[in-house]
Amino acid sequence: MYAIVRAGGRQEKVADGDVLTVDKLAAEVGATVTFPAVLVVDGDNVVSAAAELAKYTISAEVLGAVKGPKINIMHYRNKTGYKRRQGHRQPYTQVKITGISAK
């Protein structure tokens, strides 16, 4: 059984026990969060109707905060002596899917 969930503006395919990196969440380490389902596949049964998807809950446990890859930004203007270097690392939250269940 797997599901497609909406997490941080993106859609991710998840199954029970998967570790997922999503946009930063305002939750403590060890807290339980739920994600809205977009699609649920259970063997041959595919659920995509909004009324039926409301019955499913995808729960996850927050593992901690992680950072994305370093992005180097360089501004340069020719013949003026202007150089500017800047870096950025996007903050993410790592979660572990603990269950996909129907109410």
Cα angle 57, 93, 16 (rounded to 5 degrees) comes to 35
pLDDT digits (tens, 9 = 90+) for 22-79: 999 999 999 999 999 999 998 889 999 999 999 999 999 999 999 999 999 999 999 9
**pLDDT score of 43:** 87
For 77-92, write each residue's pLDDT tens digit.
999 999 999 999 999 9
β-pairing verdict for 71-77 and 91-102: unpaired
Distance CA 98, CA 68 (A): 23
Continuous H helices in the chain: 50-53
| Cα–Cα dist 39/44, whole Å | 13
Phi, psi dihedral angles at 47 (to 5 degrees)? -110, 120
